Chains A and B, each alone.
Chain A
Amino acid sequence: MSRSVRVPMVLLMCAALCLLAPWPARSLAAPSQPPSLDQAAQMAVQGAFGECTPDRPQHNSPAVYRICRPPWWWSNNGDLVIWAHGYVDPALPVQIPEDQLCMDNGLCIPDMVNLLGYNFATTSYAVNGLAVLPGIQDVIELVSLYTEEFGAPDHVLIVGVSEGGLITALAVEQYPDVFDGGLATCGPIGNFQKQINFFGDFRVVLDYFFPGLIPGSPVDIPPDLIPIWDGYYRQSVEPVVFARAHRSELQQLFNVTKAAYDRWDRLATMRTSVEDLLWYDVKATNNANQVLGGQPFDNANRTYRGSLDDGALNAGVARFAADPAAKAAVQAHYQTTGVLSKPLVTLHTTLDQQVPYWHEQLYLAKTKASGAWPVYHEEYPPT
Protein backbone atom coordinates (compact mmCIF):
# COMPACT_ATOMS: atom_id res chain seq x y z
CA MET A 1 0.00 0.00 0.00
CA SER A 2 2.76 2.40 -0.94
CA ARG A 3 4.71 2.55 2.24
CA SER A 4 6.62 5.73 2.65
CA VAL A 5 10.13 6.19 3.94
CA ARG A 6 11.96 8.86 1.98
CA VAL A 7 11.44 12.57 2.46
CA PRO A 8 13.48 14.56 -0.02
CA MET A 9 11.10 17.52 -0.13
CA VAL A 10 13.45 20.28 0.96
CA LEU A 11 16.21 19.17 -1.36
CA LEU A 12 13.75 18.78 -4.18
CA MET A 13 12.29 22.23 -3.73
CA CYS A 14 15.74 23.80 -3.50
CA ALA A 15 16.82 22.01 -6.64
CA ALA A 16 13.67 23.16 -8.39
CA LEU A 17 14.30 26.78 -7.49
CA CYS A 18 17.95 26.59 -8.55
CA LEU A 19 17.08 25.05 -11.87
CA LEU A 20 14.40 27.53 -12.86
CA ALA A 21 14.01 27.89 -16.56
CA PRO A 22 13.84 31.41 -18.08
CA TRP A 23 10.13 31.51 -17.15
CA PRO A 24 10.00 31.53 -13.34
CA ALA A 25 6.70 29.83 -12.58
CA ARG A 26 6.92 30.51 -8.86
CA SER A 27 7.35 34.26 -9.25
CA LEU A 28 4.98 36.88 -10.52
CA ALA A 29 7.32 37.91 -13.31
CA ALA A 30 5.62 37.62 -16.66
CA PRO A 31 7.36 35.51 -19.28
CA SER A 32 8.25 37.50 -22.38
CA GLN A 33 6.32 34.98 -24.39
CA PRO A 34 4.40 31.84 -23.49
CA PRO A 35 6.69 28.83 -23.13
CA SER A 36 6.48 26.10 -25.72
CA LEU A 37 5.19 22.65 -24.83
CA ASP A 38 8.77 21.42 -24.57
CA GLN A 39 9.72 24.28 -22.28
CA ALA A 40 6.67 23.70 -20.09
CA ALA A 41 7.51 20.01 -19.94
CA GLN A 42 11.08 20.79 -18.93
CA MET A 43 9.89 23.14 -16.21
CA ALA A 44 7.66 20.36 -14.87
CA VAL A 45 10.56 17.90 -14.75
CA GLN A 46 12.55 20.50 -12.80
CA GLY A 47 9.68 20.97 -10.34
CA ALA A 48 9.27 24.55 -11.47
CA PHE A 49 5.94 24.45 -13.26
CA GLY A 50 3.03 24.65 -10.84
CA GLU A 51 2.60 27.39 -8.25
CA CYS A 52 2.34 25.72 -4.84
CA THR A 53 1.38 27.07 -1.47
CA PRO A 54 3.72 26.21 1.40
CA ASP A 55 2.50 23.30 3.51
CA ARG A 56 0.06 24.66 6.08
CA PRO A 57 -1.95 23.13 8.92
CA GLN A 58 -5.57 22.35 8.23
CA HIS A 59 -8.10 24.08 10.42
CA ASN A 60 -9.97 21.07 11.79
CA SER A 61 -7.14 18.55 11.84
CA PRO A 62 -3.44 18.19 12.66
CA ALA A 63 -2.92 17.43 8.97
CA VAL A 64 -0.97 19.74 6.67
CA TYR A 65 -2.08 20.50 3.14
CA ARG A 66 -0.66 21.85 -0.10
CA ILE A 67 -2.32 23.40 -3.12
CA CYS A 68 -0.61 23.66 -6.51
CA ARG A 69 -2.11 25.52 -9.44
CA PRO A 70 -1.08 25.86 -13.07
CA PRO A 71 0.91 29.07 -13.75
CA TRP A 72 -1.19 31.97 -14.92
CA TRP A 73 0.11 31.68 -18.48
CA TRP A 74 -1.02 28.04 -18.77
CA SER A 75 -4.55 26.78 -19.21
CA ASN A 76 -6.60 26.28 -16.04
CA ASN A 77 -9.87 24.46 -16.54
CA GLY A 78 -11.18 25.38 -13.09
CA ASP A 79 -11.38 21.78 -11.85
CA LEU A 80 -9.69 20.47 -8.71
CA VAL A 81 -7.90 17.13 -8.35
CA ILE A 82 -7.48 15.89 -4.79
CA TRP A 83 -4.62 13.40 -4.32
CA ALA A 84 -5.11 10.79 -1.58
CA HIS A 85 -1.77 9.19 -0.74
CA GLY A 86 -1.11 5.65 0.41
CA TYR A 87 -0.03 4.12 3.69
CA VAL A 88 2.78 5.77 5.65
CA ASP A 89 4.85 4.16 8.41
CA PRO A 90 3.17 5.14 11.71
CA ALA A 91 6.59 5.84 13.23
CA LEU A 92 7.31 8.67 10.79
CA PRO A 93 6.34 12.30 11.42
CA VAL A 94 3.10 13.47 9.86
CA GLN A 95 3.88 15.27 6.62
CA ILE A 96 3.01 14.96 2.94
CA PRO A 97 4.85 11.83 1.71
CA GLU A 98 7.05 13.18 -1.06
CA ASP A 99 8.25 9.74 -2.13
CA GLN A 100 4.70 8.91 -3.18
CA LEU A 101 4.45 12.08 -5.27
CA CYS A 102 7.55 11.97 -7.46
CA MET A 103 9.19 9.74 -10.01
CA ASP A 104 12.85 8.98 -10.43
CA ASN A 105 13.30 11.61 -13.15
CA GLY A 106 12.08 14.35 -10.80
CA LEU A 107 8.61 14.73 -12.28
CA CYS A 108 5.99 14.94 -9.56
CA ILE A 109 2.25 14.36 -9.59
CA PRO A 110 1.30 17.97 -8.73
CA ASP A 111 3.17 19.21 -11.81
CA MET A 112 1.65 16.48 -13.95
CA VAL A 113 -1.84 17.43 -12.83
CA ASN A 114 -1.09 21.14 -13.36
CA LEU A 115 0.31 20.40 -16.83
CA LEU A 116 -3.06 18.87 -17.67
CA GLY A 117 -4.69 22.16 -16.68
CA TYR A 118 -6.10 21.01 -13.33
CA ASN A 119 -5.63 22.49 -9.90
CA PHE A 120 -4.10 20.10 -7.37
CA ALA A 121 -4.42 19.69 -3.63
CA THR A 122 -3.23 17.08 -1.18
CA THR A 123 -3.08 16.47 2.54
CA SER A 124 -0.81 14.55 4.90
CA TYR A 125 -3.89 13.25 6.74
CA ALA A 126 -4.07 13.82 10.49
CA VAL A 127 -2.13 10.65 11.27
CA ASN A 128 0.13 8.08 9.68
CA GLY A 129 -0.55 4.36 9.86
CA LEU A 130 -4.14 3.26 9.38
CA ALA A 131 -5.56 6.63 8.37
CA VAL A 132 -8.67 5.84 6.35
CA LEU A 133 -11.24 7.55 8.56
CA PRO A 134 -9.28 10.74 9.34
CA GLY A 135 -8.13 10.72 5.72
CA ILE A 136 -11.72 10.97 4.47
CA GLN A 137 -12.41 13.92 6.76
CA ASP A 138 -9.15 15.59 5.76
CA VAL A 139 -9.84 15.40 2.01
CA ILE A 140 -13.32 16.81 2.60
CA GLU A 141 -11.88 19.72 4.55
CA LEU A 142 -9.28 20.17 1.82
CA VAL A 143 -12.05 20.98 -0.66
CA SER A 144 -13.34 23.65 1.73
CA LEU A 145 -9.86 25.10 2.23
CA TYR A 146 -9.34 25.31 -1.51
CA THR A 147 -12.71 26.95 -2.00
CA GLU A 148 -12.04 29.55 0.72
CA GLU A 149 -8.81 30.59 -0.96
CA PHE A 150 -9.47 30.23 -4.67
CA GLY A 151 -13.23 29.94 -5.07
CA ALA A 152 -15.37 26.93 -5.75
CA PRO A 153 -13.90 24.58 -8.36
CA ASP A 154 -16.08 23.59 -11.30
CA HIS A 155 -15.55 19.91 -10.55
CA VAL A 156 -13.86 18.10 -7.68
CA LEU A 157 -12.17 14.82 -8.57
CA ILE A 158 -10.36 12.61 -6.10
CA VAL A 159 -7.54 10.27 -7.11
CA GLY A 160 -6.04 7.87 -4.61
CA VAL A 161 -3.56 5.04 -4.49
CA SER A 162 -3.53 2.00 -2.20
CA GLU A 163 -4.88 3.15 1.20
CA GLY A 164 -5.73 6.37 -0.64
CA GLY A 165 -7.68 4.23 -3.11
CA LEU A 166 -9.92 3.07 -0.29
CA ILE A 167 -10.26 6.65 0.94
CA THR A 168 -11.24 7.60 -2.61
CA ALA A 169 -13.85 4.87 -2.96
CA LEU A 170 -15.41 5.54 0.45
CA ALA A 171 -15.37 9.32 -0.14
CA VAL A 172 -17.14 9.02 -3.49
CA GLU A 173 -19.66 6.54 -2.07
CA GLN A 174 -20.40 8.56 1.07
CA TYR A 175 -19.94 12.19 -0.05
CA PRO A 176 -21.33 12.58 -3.57
CA ASP A 177 -22.19 16.18 -2.68
CA VAL A 178 -18.47 16.94 -2.30
CA PHE A 179 -16.86 14.80 -4.99
CA ASP A 180 -17.89 14.68 -8.64
CA GLY A 181 -15.97 11.47 -9.20
CA GLY A 182 -12.95 9.43 -8.22
CA LEU A 183 -10.16 7.25 -9.53
CA ALA A 184 -9.18 4.51 -7.07
CA THR A 185 -5.93 2.77 -7.93
CA CYS A 186 -4.75 -0.41 -6.19
CA GLY A 187 -7.06 0.16 -3.24
CA PRO A 188 -8.31 -2.47 -0.77
CA ILE A 189 -11.80 -1.63 -1.96
CA GLY A 190 -13.27 -5.10 -2.28
CA ASN A 191 -13.15 -6.30 1.32
CA PHE A 192 -11.00 -4.71 4.01
CA GLN A 193 -11.40 -7.63 6.42
CA LYS A 194 -10.02 -9.94 3.74
CA GLN A 195 -7.13 -7.54 3.25
CA ILE A 196 -6.29 -7.77 6.96
CA ASN A 197 -6.58 -11.54 6.80
CA PHE A 198 -4.34 -11.64 3.72
CA PHE A 199 -1.54 -9.93 5.65
CA GLY A 200 -2.13 -12.14 8.71
CA ASP A 201 -2.35 -15.37 6.73
CA PHE A 202 0.96 -14.66 5.08
CA ARG A 203 2.64 -14.19 8.45
CA VAL A 204 1.21 -17.27 10.17
CA VAL A 205 1.90 -19.54 7.20
CA LEU A 206 5.44 -18.19 6.98
CA ASP A 207 5.81 -18.87 10.70
CA TYR A 208 4.61 -22.43 10.14
CA PHE A 209 7.24 -23.11 7.49
CA PHE A 210 9.97 -21.10 9.26
CA PRO A 211 9.22 -21.46 12.99
CA GLY A 212 10.93 -19.03 15.34
CA LEU A 213 12.33 -16.93 12.55
CA ILE A 214 10.39 -13.80 13.52
CA PRO A 215 10.14 -13.03 17.24
CA GLY A 216 6.84 -12.58 19.01
CA SER A 217 3.24 -13.00 18.04
CA PRO A 218 1.94 -12.24 14.54
CA VAL A 219 -0.87 -10.17 16.07
CA ASP A 220 1.13 -8.41 18.77
CA ILE A 221 4.50 -7.31 17.45
CA PRO A 222 7.29 -6.86 20.02
CA PRO A 223 7.79 -3.08 20.19
CA ASP A 224 11.57 -3.37 20.13
CA LEU A 225 11.42 -5.28 16.84
CA ILE A 226 9.59 -2.53 14.95
CA PRO A 227 12.33 0.12 14.73
CA ILE A 228 15.03 -2.42 13.78
CA TRP A 229 12.87 -4.43 11.38
CA ASP A 230 14.48 -3.47 8.08
CA GLY A 231 17.94 -4.55 9.23
CA TYR A 232 16.58 -7.59 11.04
CA TYR A 233 14.80 -8.69 7.90
CA ARG A 234 17.91 -8.33 5.76
CA GLN A 235 20.21 -10.11 8.20
CA SER A 236 18.01 -12.76 9.78
CA VAL A 237 14.89 -13.40 7.74
CA GLU A 238 15.59 -13.01 4.04
CA PRO A 239 18.69 -15.28 3.98
CA VAL A 240 16.72 -18.10 5.61
CA VAL A 241 13.52 -17.79 3.61
CA PHE A 242 15.40 -17.58 0.32
CA ALA A 243 18.05 -20.20 1.09
CA ARG A 244 18.33 -22.74 -1.68
CA ALA A 245 17.54 -25.49 0.83
CA HIS A 246 14.17 -23.86 1.55
CA ARG A 247 12.84 -23.50 -1.99
CA SER A 248 10.07 -26.02 -1.37
CA GLU A 249 8.86 -24.20 1.75
CA LEU A 250 9.00 -20.90 -0.13
CA GLN A 251 6.89 -22.22 -2.99
CA GLN A 252 4.40 -23.76 -0.57
CA LEU A 253 4.12 -20.42 1.24
CA PHE A 254 3.08 -18.78 -2.01
CA ASN A 255 0.85 -21.64 -3.06
CA VAL A 256 -1.07 -21.50 0.21
CA THR A 257 -1.36 -17.72 0.63
CA LYS A 258 -1.82 -16.90 -3.08
CA ALA A 259 0.60 -14.02 -2.64
CA ALA A 260 1.56 -12.51 -5.98
CA TYR A 261 4.66 -13.37 -7.94
CA ASP A 262 5.59 -13.40 -11.59
CA ARG A 263 6.38 -16.93 -12.68
CA TRP A 264 8.71 -15.53 -15.34
CA ASP A 265 10.68 -13.63 -12.70
CA ARG A 266 9.96 -15.90 -9.79
CA LEU A 267 12.57 -15.29 -7.14
CA ALA A 268 12.89 -11.53 -7.60
CA THR A 269 9.15 -10.98 -7.36
CA MET A 270 8.85 -13.38 -4.44
CA ARG A 271 11.49 -11.33 -2.64
CA THR A 272 9.44 -8.19 -3.15
CA SER A 273 6.28 -9.89 -1.91
CA VAL A 274 7.87 -11.41 1.20
CA GLU A 275 9.58 -8.15 2.14
CA ASP A 276 6.46 -6.04 1.62
CA LEU A 277 4.01 -8.37 3.32
CA LEU A 278 6.21 -8.84 6.38
CA TRP A 279 6.82 -5.08 6.47
CA TYR A 280 3.09 -4.51 6.87
CA ASP A 281 2.80 -7.26 9.47
CA VAL A 282 5.57 -5.80 11.60
CA LYS A 283 5.03 -2.08 11.05
CA ALA A 284 1.25 -1.88 10.75
CA THR A 285 -0.18 -4.53 13.10
CA ASN A 286 0.13 -2.77 16.46
CA ASN A 287 -1.05 0.51 14.96
CA ALA A 288 -4.10 -1.19 13.42
CA ASN A 289 -4.88 -2.90 16.73
CA GLN A 290 -4.84 0.48 18.43
CA VAL A 291 -6.93 2.24 15.79
CA LEU A 292 -9.50 -0.55 15.54
CA GLY A 293 -9.81 -1.18 19.27
CA GLY A 294 -8.45 -4.71 19.14
CA GLN A 295 -6.70 -7.14 16.84
CA PRO A 296 -8.73 -7.77 13.67
CA PHE A 297 -7.02 -10.84 12.15
CA ASP A 298 -9.12 -13.97 12.18
CA ASN A 299 -8.11 -17.40 10.93
CA ALA A 300 -9.84 -19.42 13.61
CA ASN A 301 -11.83 -21.45 11.12
CA ARG A 302 -9.67 -21.09 8.01
CA THR A 303 -8.74 -24.19 6.05
CA TYR A 304 -5.42 -23.64 4.33
CA ARG A 305 -4.75 -25.46 1.09
CA GLY A 306 -1.86 -25.75 -1.32
CA SER A 307 0.97 -27.23 0.76
CA LEU A 308 2.48 -30.68 0.41
CA ASP A 309 0.70 -31.70 3.64
CA ASP A 310 -2.37 -29.58 4.28
CA GLY A 311 -3.39 -31.77 7.21
CA ALA A 312 -0.20 -30.99 9.07
CA LEU A 313 -0.38 -27.33 8.08
CA ASN A 314 -3.93 -26.87 9.35
CA ALA A 315 -3.13 -28.74 12.56
CA GLY A 316 0.05 -26.80 13.19
CA VAL A 317 -0.53 -23.26 12.01
CA ALA A 318 -1.14 -20.62 14.68
CA ARG A 319 -4.79 -19.70 15.10
CA PHE A 320 -6.25 -16.36 16.14
CA ALA A 321 -9.76 -15.08 16.67
CA ALA A 322 -10.38 -11.42 15.96
CA ASP A 323 -11.47 -9.18 18.79
CA PRO A 324 -15.19 -8.55 18.20
CA ALA A 325 -14.76 -4.80 18.59
CA ALA A 326 -12.09 -4.68 15.87
CA LYS A 327 -14.12 -6.82 13.51
CA ALA A 328 -17.16 -4.63 14.10
CA ALA A 329 -15.14 -1.47 13.47
CA VAL A 330 -13.89 -2.83 10.15
CA GLN A 331 -17.38 -3.82 9.11
CA ALA A 332 -18.92 -0.51 10.12
CA HIS A 333 -16.34 1.93 8.78
CA TYR A 334 -13.87 0.34 6.37
CA GLN A 335 -16.04 -1.69 4.02
CA THR A 336 -17.23 -0.25 0.76
CA THR A 337 -20.84 -0.80 -0.26
CA GLY A 338 -20.64 -0.50 -4.03
CA VAL A 339 -23.47 2.04 -3.86
CA LEU A 340 -22.52 5.00 -6.03
CA SER A 341 -24.25 8.09 -7.30
CA LYS A 342 -21.08 9.67 -8.73
CA PRO A 343 -18.61 7.92 -11.03
CA LEU A 344 -15.76 5.84 -9.67
CA VAL A 345 -13.11 4.48 -12.04
CA THR A 346 -10.87 1.73 -10.68
CA LEU A 347 -7.45 0.61 -11.84
CA HIS A 348 -5.34 -2.19 -10.34
CA THR A 349 -2.12 -3.97 -11.17
CA THR A 350 -2.88 -7.65 -11.64
CA LEU A 351 0.21 -8.78 -9.70
CA ASP A 352 -0.12 -6.29 -6.87
CA GLN A 353 1.78 -7.94 -4.03
CA GLN A 354 0.37 -5.76 -1.25
CA VAL A 355 -3.27 -5.21 -2.17
CA PRO A 356 -4.30 -8.20 -4.29
CA TYR A 357 -6.13 -7.81 -7.55
CA TRP A 358 -9.11 -9.77 -6.22
CA HIS A 359 -10.28 -6.52 -4.61
CA GLU A 360 -11.29 -5.37 -8.11
CA GLN A 361 -13.41 -8.45 -8.64
CA LEU A 362 -15.06 -8.14 -5.24
CA TYR A 363 -15.81 -4.46 -5.75
CA LEU A 364 -17.20 -5.16 -9.20
CA ALA A 365 -19.55 -7.71 -7.65
CA LYS A 366 -20.73 -5.06 -5.20
CA THR A 367 -21.42 -2.46 -7.88
CA LYS A 368 -23.18 -5.00 -10.06
CA ALA A 369 -25.37 -5.94 -7.11
CA SER A 370 -26.14 -2.30 -6.33
CA GLY A 371 -26.79 -1.38 -9.95
CA ALA A 372 -23.97 1.17 -9.96
CA TRP A 373 -22.06 -0.75 -12.63
CA PRO A 374 -21.55 0.21 -15.43
CA VAL A 375 -22.99 3.71 -15.19
CA TYR A 376 -21.10 4.84 -12.10
CA HIS A 377 -18.42 2.21 -11.65
CA GLU A 378 -16.06 1.33 -14.45
CA GLU A 379 -12.81 -0.58 -14.40
CA TYR A 380 -9.98 0.63 -16.57
CA PRO A 381 -9.23 -0.61 -19.10
CA PRO A 382 -12.92 -1.14 -19.89
CA THR A 383 -13.90 -4.79 -20.15
Chain B
Amino acid sequence: MFATLDVLGAFDLLVTKAGAGRLDQASVQALLRALGPDRQVLNLGEK
Protein backbone atom coordinates (compact mmCIF):
# COMPACT_ATOMS: atom_id res chain seq x y z
CA MET B 1 0.00 0.00 0.00
CA PHE B 2 1.08 3.54 -0.63
CA ALA B 3 0.72 6.36 1.85
CA THR B 4 -1.52 9.16 0.63
CA LEU B 5 1.18 11.74 0.79
CA ASP B 6 3.49 9.61 -1.35
CA VAL B 7 0.90 9.28 -4.09
CA LEU B 8 -0.08 12.91 -3.91
CA GLY B 9 3.57 13.89 -3.88
CA ALA B 10 4.30 11.75 -6.92
CA PHE B 11 1.27 13.14 -8.74
CA ASP B 12 2.23 16.70 -7.84
CA LEU B 13 5.72 16.01 -9.17
CA LEU B 14 4.18 14.70 -12.39
CA VAL B 15 1.93 17.70 -13.00
CA THR B 16 4.82 20.03 -12.24
CA LYS B 17 7.17 18.28 -14.64
CA ALA B 18 4.42 18.14 -17.27
CA GLY B 19 4.01 21.91 -17.08
CA ALA B 20 0.46 21.57 -15.76
CA GLY B 21 0.83 23.80 -12.73
CA ARG B 22 0.57 22.51 -9.18
CA LEU B 23 -2.14 20.80 -7.19
CA ASP B 24 -4.77 23.21 -5.87
CA GLN B 25 -4.35 23.35 -2.11
CA ALA B 26 -8.07 23.64 -1.32
CA SER B 27 -8.70 20.55 -3.45
CA VAL B 28 -5.90 18.70 -1.69
CA GLN B 29 -7.47 19.59 1.66
CA ALA B 30 -10.83 18.25 0.50
CA LEU B 31 -9.16 15.02 -0.63
CA LEU B 32 -7.34 14.59 2.66
CA ARG B 33 -10.63 15.01 4.52
CA ALA B 34 -12.26 12.41 2.28
CA LEU B 35 -9.42 9.99 2.89
CA GLY B 36 -9.86 10.26 6.63
CA PRO B 37 -7.28 9.35 9.23
CA ASP B 38 -6.01 6.19 7.50
CA ARG B 39 -5.07 8.06 4.36
CA GLN B 40 -4.41 4.94 2.39
CA VAL B 41 -4.75 5.70 -1.28
CA LEU B 42 -3.92 2.67 -3.33
CA ASN B 43 -4.34 -0.89 -2.25
CA LEU B 44 -2.32 -2.71 -4.85
CA GLY B 45 -3.40 -6.21 -4.06
CA GLU B 46 -2.22 -5.92 -0.47
CA LYS B 47 1.23 -4.80 -1.50
- A41–B44 touching, CB < 8 Å: no
- A183–B19 touching, CB < 8 Å: no
Partner among A107, A180, A186, A272 whose Cβ is within 8 Å of the Cβ of B18: A180
- B10–A75 touching, CB < 8 Å: no
Interface segment, one of A12-20, A112-120, A137-145, A310-318: A112-120
> Given that A112-B31, A117-B27 are known contacts, is A155 also in contact with B20, CB under 8 Å in the complex?
yes
* Interface SS of A by simple majority: loop
- A37–B30 touching, CB < 8 Å: yes
B47 to chain A: which residues have CB within 8 Å?
Answer: 186, 349, 351-354
Tell me the bound Cα distance from A157 to B36 in angstroms: 26
B14 to chain A, nearest CB (A): 5
**A345 at the A/B interface (Cβ < 8 Å)?**
yes
Partner among A41, A103, A159 whose Cβ is within 8 Å of the Cβ of B43: A103
Of residues 152 to 174 in A, which have CB atoms within 8 Å of B's CB atoms? 154-155, 157, 159, 161-162
Total B residues in contact with A, Cβ cutoff 8 Å: 36
> Given that A41-B33, A347-B10 are known contacts, is A162 also in contact with B28, CB under 8 Å in the complex?
no
> Given that A38-B33, A272-B46 are known contacts, is A349 also in contact with B24, CB under 8 Å in the complex?
no
A276 to chain B, nearest CB (A): 7
Tell me the bound Cα distance from A352 to B43 in angstroms: 12
B46 to chain A: which residues have CB within 8 Å?
Answer: 272
Tell me the bound Cα distance from A79 to B22 in angstroms: 12
Of residues 99 to 133 in A, which have CB atoms within 8 Å of B's CB atoms? 103-105, 107, 109, 111-112, 115-117
A37 to chain B: which residues have CB within 8 Å?
Answer: 26, 29-30, 33
Partner among B14, B31, B36, B41 whose Cβ is within 8 Å of the Cβ of A115: B31
B2 to chain A: which residues have CB within 8 Å?
Answer: 185, 347, 349
Partner among B10, B20, B21, B30 whose Cβ is within 8 Å of the Cβ of A41: B30
Most buried by A among B2, B31, B45: B45
Chain A, residues 15-43, CB within 8 Å of chain B (1/0): the string is 00000000000000000000001101110
**A236 at the A/B interface (Cβ < 8 Å)?**
no
> Given that A2-B44, A44-B34, A349-B2 are known contacts, is A155 also in contact with B18, CB under 8 Å in the complex?
yes
- B34–A41 touching, CB < 8 Å: yes
B24 to chain A: which residues have CB within 8 Å?
Answer: 75, 77, 116-117
B26 to chain A: which residues have CB within 8 Å?
Answer: 37, 75
**A380 at the A/B interface (Cβ < 8 Å)?**
yes
Tell me the bound Cα distance from A344 to B10 in angstroms: 10
Of all chain B residues, which has the CB nearest A159?
B11
Tell me the bound Cα distance from A51 to B14 in angstroms: 25
Partner among A41, A86, A180, A276 whose Cβ is within 8 Å of the Cβ of B31: A41
A259 to chain B: which residues have CB within 8 Å?
Answer: none
A152 to chain B, nearest CB (A): 14
Q: Which residues of B contact A (CB under 8 A)?
A: 1-2, 6-7, 9-11, 13-15, 17-21, 23-24, 26-31, 33-36, 38, 40-47
Would you give 11 A-B contacts (Cβ < 8 Å), ordered by A? A42-B34, A45-B34, A77-B20, A112-B35, A116-B23, A161-B42, A183-B10, A183-B14, A186-B44, A186-B47, A349-B2
Nearest 5 pairs of A and B residues by beta carbon: A181-B18, A343-B17, A41-B33, A380-B10, A41-B34
